[in-house]
Amino acid sequence: MTGAPQSRVVAILAAGIGSRMRSETPKVLHPVGGRPMLSWVLDAARGAGCDRILAVVGHGAEQVRAALDAPDITWVEQREQLGTGHALAQVARELDGDGVIIVLSGDVPLVRPATLAALADAAAGGWGSMAVADLDQPGSLGRVLDRDGGALDRIVEAADASDEELAISTVNAGLYCLPYPQIFERLAALTPDNAKGELYLTDALGAAAADGDRISLVQLADPGEAMGINTRVDQSRVHRRLLERKLRRLQMHGVTLLDPDRIQVEPGVEIGADTTVEADVSLSGSTRIGRRCVLRQGAWIRDSIIADDVTIEPYSVLDGAQVGDGCSVGPFARLRPGTVLEEGSKVGNFVEVKKSTLGPGVKASHLAYLGDATIGPGANIGAGTITCNYDGQRKHPTEIGAGAFIGSDTMLVAPVKIGDGATTGAGSAITKDVPSGALAIERSRQRNVEGWVERRQKRESSED
């Protein structure tokens, strides 16, 4: 039989302590590809059309629930973490009658929706099914011993395996399709006589196979899908794998990535065709990049929207910023949340912008802090300009009109308004509004003392 899974019920085992992570955070909340590992498994279940998700949680249950709660999830508590067999036994109370259930592991995040359908199809030809893969580094995963015809004989956990068994490269991916209530009857008979002292789900499958039930092995087309996360080393491998999938997809959609091994692009990020991303760039969160952009070395961009034809020069940091068509940013610029750069504006080196809008064509080319400011089209912000937006208690706004020219080293003490086309003299501390077209200058008049240097030298030599 082929097609959609017969079963629309999925159980996800996610209650384990994950002691090998050595962490206070529940294992399934540790991130890969920018999101908790469990969220990937939930998405695979949704992608396969499962309409009932039974998520077994226990260790840090409240934290897991708070992070990932959704209307389609039924949270099932496993009070004590006695092993995967005990975890699956908890969902029995949620199921009536008989049927098949897809079982996934919360620490196997690369699982694809198509695998769930393949498991259901394979299970239809026997008692149940499970996914296997051949891995170069089978590590801590269970080794699978099979029989002729692609059926399970038994699974040996790495902790219980002999050297000979450890040399087997076929692993249990921790993804199954199993019949109920039969599986629950098998689970009820488990004993914890093994290296970890746990009730192993895998032993229940071995027992069924020993009694002649056929458990079909589904070979994963992409063996990477079987990578489970038990340690932080596994976590980094899975993370890299997720990024590789994403980077390959971007390349196939016309994005130039000449050195993909040195680029971090989280799977949720979008990039338009003919954009070039140089080495050591990191793109994360909900970032969207348009077409024909150039992101130069070391740009770090999170939750930002960048339009078309934008250049981000090296080592710029953008967080929660919006950048319009044709803008140029950096090198070494910092755009903080609430920054909006409208079309063709430019933010140069060592400029920090926070919660400010720079209108079309505005230039702030060097060394400035612009916070809580609204800047009209075509204004020029001189080097060293600072919006003094904080009085120690509250933040205040600065408004700069269209075409204004802010002289170098101007302090704009907010709240303050600079009118359209106005100019401020370099080095001025502006505390009062400036009318349109006016020059505001606030500094002491320069005095030149003729011959002062020569007189000083004479005085000093006579004192010797």
Taking CB under 5 A as the criterion, the residue among 34, 107, 109, 348 binding Mg ion is: 107
Stretch that binds ligand UD1, among 11-19, 113-121, 244-252, 416-424 (CB under 6 A): 11-19
* Beta-strand pair 170-180/99-105: antiparallel
Mark whether 366 is an active-site residue: yes
CA distances to 7, 64, 78, 232, 411 from 93, rounded to whole Å, are 17, 21, 12, 34, 68
Number of chain positions touching ligand UD1 (CB under 6 A): 31
Binding flag, residue 84, ligand UD1 (CB under 6 A): yes
Q: How many helices (H) and strands (E) does the chain have?
A: 9, 39
- The residue (of 204 and 327) whose beta carbon lies closer to ligand UD1 is 204
Binding pattern to ligand UD1, positions 169-208, x when CB under 6 A?
--xxxx-------------------------xxx------
Selected from 9, 56, 218, 404, the binder of ligand UD1 by CB under 6 A is: 56
N-term to C-term CA, the chain: 106
Residues 102-121: x where in contact with ligand UD1 by CB under 6 A, - otherwise, as a string:
---xxxx-------------
CA 210/CA 242 separation, integer angstroms: 37
Q: Does 13 engage in binding with ligand UD1 (CB under 6 A)? A: yes
Instruction: Choose, from 59, 239, 366, 396, the residue flagged as catalytic.
Output: 366
Confirm or reject binding of residue 131 to ligand UD1 (CB under 6 A). no
Q: Which residue, among 214, 194, 8, has the nearest Cα to 101 in the 3D structure?
A: 8
Return the number of the residue (127 or 200) whose C-beta is nearest ligand UD1.
Answer: 200
C-beta closer to Mg ion: residue 174 or 326: 174
Coil, strand, or helix at residue 262? Answer: helix
Beta strand pairing call for 405-406 and 143-147: unpaired
Structure tokens that stand for 459 in this block:
């005085």
Closest Cα partner for 41 from 105, 89, 100?
105
- From the list 115, 230, 322, 424, which residue makes contact with Mg ion (rule: CB under 5 A)? 230
Tell me how far, at minimum, the Cβ of 194 lies from ligand UD1, in Å: 8
CA–CA separation, 262 and 288 (whole Å): 20
Using CB under 6 A as the binding rule, whether residue 87 contacts ligand UD1 is answered as yes
172 binds Mg ion (CB under 5 A): no
What amino acid is encoded at 188 in this protein?
Answer: A
CA dist., res. 335 & res. 113, Å (int): 38
CA–CA dist 387, 403 (Å, integer):
17
Partner that binds at residue 357, options Mg ion, ligand UD1, none, CB closer than 5 to 8 Å by kind: none
Partner whose binding site includes residue 42, from Mg ion, ligand UD1, none (CB under 5 to 8 Å by kind) = none
Tokens of 244: 């590789």
Query: Which is nearer to ligand UD1, 224 or 338 (by Cβ)?
Result: 224
DSSP letter string over 342-382?
Answer: -TT-EEEEEEEEES-EE-TT-EEEEEEEEESEEE-TT-EE-
CB neighbour burial string for 365-377, b if at least 16 within 10 angstroms, e if fewer: bbbbbbbbbbbbb
Binding status of residue 198 toward Mg ion by CB under 5 A = no
Query: Considering the complex, what minimum distance in angstroms separates the CB of residue 13 from ligand UD1?
Result: 3
For position 141 contacting ligand UD1 by CB under 6 A, the verdict is yes
Q: Which stretch binds ligand UD1 (CB under 6 A): 2-10, 44-52, 84-92, 355-363?
A: 84-92
- Contact residue for ligand UD1 among 5, 60, 109, 142 (CB under 6 A): 142
Q: What single letter denotes the amino acid at residue 257?
A: L
Tokens of 277: 């991303």
The residues carrying an active-site annotation are 366
Q: Which residues bind Mg ion (CB under 5 A)?
A: 107, 228, 230
Q: Which residues bind ligand UD1 (CB under 6 A)?
A: 13-16, 28, 56, 78, 81-84, 86-87, 105-108, 140-142, 155, 157, 171-174, 200-202, 228, 230
